[in-house]
Structure 1
Amino acid sequence: MSGSPRFRWSTVCLEALDGPALASFYRELLGWRVKAQEPDWVLLAPPDGGPGLSFQSDPGFVRPAWPTRPGEQQLMMHLDIEVDDLDASSARAVELGATVADFQPQDDVRVHFDPAGHPFCLWVSA
């Protein structure tokens, strides 16, 4: 082998008590397709290609706290999802099982929690 090995980002994996159920939520929300599936793991792929999202069941999963609070499960990451209509997109996310966070730090961003409790942000560009 000569030179450096090749690295290519392929997915971000979110854990939940029920990975396949969480994958169903994001499949409906984003309109992505199931690319691969095992009993406790699902990979979603965007229609235009690029990195996907995978979801894995973890019986020890604990919902993160947001905003962060001392002594509670810390947030490791969140998803930012650009939308063209913040109100309509928020309503669709809620229809699919998301909840709107009480704390909203910006006017052009709407923070939600997916059914497993991961925060995600819907946002519109100015």
Structure 2
Amino acid sequence: MQEILEYILKNYSSASKIVEVGVGNHTEVLTKLKEKIDGEVTGVDIKDLKGIDRDDIFNPKLEIYRRAELIYAIRPEPELYPALKKIARYVKADLIIRPFSGDCCLDIEGLKLVNYGREFFYIMKG
């Protein structure tokens, strides 16, 4: 996940707010962003996790996402993509989805597949 961290730092280091969706137990990228970005960096998950806001993206608390310049998700299930896109469009944020490796070549309407280093992810500009 080093490459996605580098990409976010390179392109969103001055963002006032960044939200990671579906943090789960893998907090490495979120933790590093909190250390390196002066703006607000927060994470959400459907489960109750320490230090992570709880949210259901199919019935989102939009106040969590308002003013975000970037919303990103690392390895979300493909059925979450439409909800992620909907939230990002609503709050006019960019969206990055780092899919599972087996989902790398899906044609996702409105998202562009980007290769960055040894990583690949989808990007939608807000």
Flag whether TM exceeds 0.5 (same fold): no
More helix by percentage? 2
Tell me the TM-score normalized by structure 2. Answer: 0.30
Tell me the TM-score normalized by structure 1. Answer: 0.30
Task: Decide which structure has the larger Cα Rg and report it.
Answer: 1
